[in-house]
Structure 1
Amino acid sequence: MEKLTGKWALITGASSGFGIDFAHALAERGANLILVARRQEPMQQLAATISARHNVAVELKAADLALPGSGLALKQHLDQKKINVDILINNAGCGLYGPFVEQPLAATLDMLQLNILSLTELTHLFARSMIQRGEGHILLVASIGGYQATPTYAAYGASKAYVLLFGEALHEELKPHKVKLSVLSPGVSATGFLAAAGQRTTPYQRLFMMQSRPVVDAGLAALFCGKPSVIPGLGNKLTIFGNRLAPRSLQSKIAYQLMKN
């Protein structure tokens, strides 16, 4: 992994899960950090830990990216501070577990705003600046759920399919401008995602669960090597490969059974 001394890395969803490990991994390589999440206190604790271990600058911004226009407000805030973002880690996201019609519609729309619209907004705003400077890195966090329809995660899986296809397309569009963009598609990971989504861990998930840091390292390695996308973990790779051999209708039936509590 290349050294990042003096570079600024913006990490969304920085108060928990992958966000914490992205912060540590980038600080270890000398990057200054901009941590963004709804909750200020966990970010303050993370910033204190990182500052004690690494000689990097850490900026905090409490923001709810599930609100329309929050991406533009964040970009304007950083412009006022004259901070140019060299690395964008579009990590913020959430899921909802259960039958689609039983989920509160407002919660589903908030999830789609965060997973799709805010991610798109941030990518557009910061990619334009990177193109003007002739360099930059963007990592979008999708999910292996984006490779197939997943009953009980219907809207979430669809949102991650958008991230996957959107990111792979932008990888080609941005390449001539020397801006690298990669998509990270984790499987089930030890991040607290399942609890927040409202799901108890299933036997399938316990079997394939990965720790957070190896997932983060795989994503960053792909980003700096210029790969369009990466699926971390042998089990996750085999799952997606197996899906390609099965009819789509069968994929959904299998996914439904595996996701049931």
Structure 2
Amino acid sequence: MKRHLMHAPLLFQRLPNPRAGFAHRLTTSSLRPFCCDAVSSQLLDRNQLENSEMKSNENSWVLITGASSGFGEEFARQYAAQGKSLVLVARRLSKLEALSAQLRERFGVDVIVEQVDLSSIPAIIELHERLSERNIVIDVLINNAGHGLQGPFLDQPLDHSLTMIDLDIASLTALTRLFAADMRARKRGHILMVASLLSFLGVKNFAVYSAAKAYVLRFSDALHRELKNDGVVVTALCPGMSDTGFAESAKQRITPALKMVMMQPQPVVRAGIRALQAGRMSVVPGFGNKAITVLTWATPRRFHQSLMAQVMGV
């Protein structure tokens, strides 16, 4: 697959008022750090939100990528508990089939299983075509699939880094482009982008991953503004360290500091779903994670990057 990468400067974040004292800025802004401040907690106008309200009819589906484990599996369970019909997408067919059987039996919901290599753009296009031919209307897209590795950039095989870019950036962009166009045509839809706390930080030994997640967050923020008048909600979920198995797959060492802020997937996913339903731009679940985001603007970059490196054990 040919890769066409374009470099663009990130949007500047709103800076705190330099005339305001630090204590004032901390007490007022810490409740809404720039990752989920007044910008990221904007709600759609009431009539827009009503127009884009999730419909529980028989032909309205939730598509979840990376659904075989971690956050994806938990999204499937929580949406099934709401009675939503599901399209579960991942590479591991056996795990998808086992999960779908559990959800059908427990919640009585319709579940479609799609074994797809999401690092392949042609495979994503074929997925969209198959669902369209079956008249499967995707009302909610959960862009959850991702890949991460810990280690010095120059020590990682180039193929691994490019695969991460393919999955975390190119595939997410393709999925969003295809299904968001359908949603805009219907004047209704919801897209949740699973970013990361590392979206705000360039962390040592997570160079490609943190850069990829920064793209996800900025992309999501821009689309939130572009599509909100078309009845389409776009929300970024920015979790910190969570007990999803990601650390093991990324070969990450769990430090005592990480254990202190580690969250279970259930409250993280619940926060993401609530933020999406409320029409918010983004959400950072967990008090500890919110506190870290405050540090990203309240302290010099070299300080909070050094602090995060210690927390991450790198």
Contact 1:3/1:29 (<8 A) preserved? no
Q: Equivalent residue for 1:61?
A: 114
Within 2, Cα distance between the matches of 1:204 and 1:70?
A: 40
Letter in 2 for 1:164: L
CA drift at 1:68: 3.1
From 158, 161, 181, the equivalent of 1:128 is 181
Rate the CA distance shift 1:77–1:138 in 2: closer, same or farther, 3 A: same
SS of corresponding position for 2:121: coil
- Percent identical among aligned pairs is 45
Match of 1:92 in 2: 145
Instruction: Specify which of 52, 60, 63 is matched with residue 105 of structure 2.
Output: 52
**1:4 partnered with 2:28:** no
**Bigger radius of gyration:** 2
* Structure 2 equivalent of residue 37 of structure 1: 90
Aligned to 2:48: none
Structure 1, residues 27-77: CA drift from partner, whole Å, max 9, x if none?
A: 111110000001001111100110011121100011111123332121112
TM-score with structure 1 length normalisation? 0.97
2:262 is the alignment partner of 1:209 = yes
CA contact (8 A) 1:3 1:30 kept: no
1:161 aligns with 2:161: no
What is the match of residue 234 of structure 1? 287
Cα distance in 1 for partners of 2:72, 2:56 equals: 18
Deviates more, 1:59-68 or 1:243-252: 243-252
- Does the residue aligned with 1:86 lie in a helix, a strand or coil? strand
Please give the secondary structure, in 2, of the residue aligned with 1:51.
helix
Distance in 1 between the 2:177 and 2:54 partners? Answer: 25
> Among residues 207, 222, 225, which one is paired with 2:278 in the alignment?
225
What TM-score do the two structures reach when normalised by structure 2? Answer: 0.81
Pairing 1:104–2:157 present: yes
User: Aligned pairs, how many?
Assistant: 261
Q: Counterparts of 1:248 and 1:219 in 2: how far apart (Å)?
A: 28
Q: Tell whether the 8 Å contact from 2:54 to 2:139 is kept in structure 1 after alignment.
A: no
Residue 233 and residue 4 in structure 1: after superposition, are their counterparts in 2 closer, same or farther (change >3 A)?
farther
Select the residue among 142, 154, 161 that pairs with 2:195: 142
State the match for 1:250 in structure 2.
303
Structure 2 gap segments, 5+ residues each: 1-52
In 2, Cα distance between equivalents of 1:218 and 1:5: 24
Structure 2 CA distance, aligned partners of 1:124 and 1:3?
Answer: 22
Q: What SS is found at the alignment partner of 1:26?
A: helix
Amino acid corresponding to residue 124 of structure 2 in structure 1: G
CA distance in 2, matches of 1:9, 1:2: 10
Aligned partner of residue 285 in structure 2, secondary structure: coil
Q: CA RMSD in A?
A: 1.4
Conserved? CA contact 2:253–2:313, under 8 Å:
no
Instruction: Select the structure with the greater relative contact order (CA < 8 A; seq sep ≥ 6).
Output: 2
| Counterpart check, 1:198 vs 2:251 | yes
**Greater shift in the superposed pair: 238-247 or 8-17:** 238-247
Task: Give the structure 2 partner of residue 75 of structure 1.
Answer: 128
CA distance in 2, matches of 1:136, 1:189: 27
